Amino acid sequence: MNINISTKNFNASDTLRKTIETKLSRLDKYFTGESETNVTLSNEGGRQTIEATITADGGVFRAEETTQEKDLYNSIDRLVDKLSGQIGKYKSKVTYHHKDNKSDRFVEV
């Protein structure tokens, strides 16, 4: 999984970047091929926002989490939960619609 982290009006520490990479790398188990993840951290008007877009296996998964407090680590956890739910729903839909064709998109799961 390739993870690209960009910031707007915000300086992300190395610890925060490493945390984002480790949490999002857990979602790699859902994909068979190479996936591209773009993460944007922004600070606007006292609100901190984290956005993530994953492009893999013909699907695009996007989630956004905004917090008023200065704790982005909880936002990262909520963001990963949202993405995991979207990917799980997509996986169920693909396997249900292609159960006779034996879709190989999610072989590992």
Model's pTM, two decimal places?
0.81
Q: What is the CATH number of the domain that holds 9?
A: 3.30.160.100
The confidence score (pLDDT) of residue 97 equals 65
Judge whether 44 and 64 are in contact, CB under 8 Å. no
- Note whether residue 22 is domain-resident: yes
Residue whose structure tokens are 């970047």: 17
The confidence score (pLDDT) of residue 36 equals 92
- Note whether residue 39 is domain-resident: yes
pLDDT tens, position by position, for the chain (109 residues)?
899 999 998 888 999 999 999 999 999 888 888 889 999 999 988 899 999 999 987 789 999 999 987 788 999 999 999 999 999 888 888 777 666 655 555 555 5
Closest CA to 75 of 109, 45, 29, 43: 43
**Structural domain total, the chain:** 1
- Note whether residue 104 is domain-resident: no
- Note whether residue 52 is domain-resident: yes
Range of the domain at 36: 2-97
- Note whether residue 109 is domain-resident: no
